[in-house]
């Protein structure tokens, strides 16, 4: 019998059109990056940990998994950029990442708005590509996000508890475009 975490991992891995043999990014890849002491320390520091996390995920996928990954890719016909695009062949996976640090306390509304903005940006990804939103919060400051989810501010996020952080993800099937 699978544990709850294993069921979530299995569910994420098998999400229709998100994870496939061409781009090979799955929840375990994200877990490999977020379960480090570096994440624990940086999530509790002032500023910059979202960019650091993006770079770490890029490095892990590129160097360890030998995947084709690009950072800060322009959306078609736009000046907006996507955090990560994974995959050599189509369909590519367009990933928007948000990370909340404890020093952003008091800034929750702006953080929620930035997630909404990222979800809307994903509407502009190329036809045939897939989409994923990742939201990462230190365990010590994720209660407010749970409340926002429960109050219906956000439907469609799945939660994965990790050692230092809580990882929330939403696949394109759960996004309301």
Please tell me the predicted confidence (pLDDT) of residue 164. 84
Name which of 103, 65, 101, 102 is nearest 84 in CA terms: 65
Express each pLDDT in 21-35 by its tens digit.
Answer: 445 677 787 878 777
Express each pLDDT in 46-88 by its tens digit.
Answer: 667 788 889 889 998 999 888 899 999 999 988 999 999 998 7
Contact at 8 Å (CB) between 129 and 23? no
Name which of 132, 96, 131 is nearest 115 in CA terms: 96
Please tell me the predicted confidence (pLDDT) of residue 84. 93
Please tell me the predicted confidence (pLDDT) of residue 4. 34
In whole angstroms, give the CA distance from residue 135 to residue 145.
10
pTM equals: 0.79
Q: Does position 38 have pLDDT exceeding 60, yes or no? A: yes
How is the chain split among helix, strand and coil, in percent rounded to 5? 40, 20, 35
- Among 76-80, 122-126, 153-157, the least confident range: 153-157
Top pLDDT among 30 and 17 is at 30
Query: Which residues, in sequence order, are CB contacts of 44 under 8 Å at separation 6+?
Result: 101, 102, 138, 140
Please tell me the predicted confidence (pLDDT) of residue 13. 39
Name the average pLDDT for the chain: 79
Tell me the C-alpha to C-alpha distance, in Å, between residue 147 and each of 24, 51, 72, 143, 154: 32, 26, 31, 6, 10
Name which of 101, 65, 63, 68 is nearest 84 in CA terms: 68
Top pLDDT among 150 and 82 is at 82
Calculate the dihedral angle through the C-alpha atoms of 152, 137, 160, 85, rounding to the nearest 10 degrees.
90
């Amino acid at each position: 019998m699978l544990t709850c975490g294993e069921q979530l991992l299995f569910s994420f891995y098998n999400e229709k059109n998100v994870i496939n043999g061409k781009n090979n990014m799955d929840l375990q890849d994200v877990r490999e990056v977020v379960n480090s002491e570096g994440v624990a320390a940086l999530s509790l520091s002032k500023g910059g940990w979202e960019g650091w996390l993006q770079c770490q995920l890029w490095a892990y996928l590129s160097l360890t998994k030998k995947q084709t990954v690009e950072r800060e890719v322009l959306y078609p016909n736009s000046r907006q950029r996507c955090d990560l695009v994974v995959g050599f062949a189509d369909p590519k996976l367009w990933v928007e990442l948000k990370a909340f640090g404890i020093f952003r306390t008091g800034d929750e509304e702006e953080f929620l708005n930035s997630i909404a903005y990222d979800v809307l940006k994903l509407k502009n990804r190329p036809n045939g590509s897939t989409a994923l939103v990742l939201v990462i919060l230190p365990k010590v400051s994720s209660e407010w996000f749970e409340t926002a989810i429960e109050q219906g501010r956000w439907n469609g996020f799945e939660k994965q508890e990790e050692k230092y952080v809580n990882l929330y993800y939403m696949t394109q099937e759960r996004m309301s475009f």
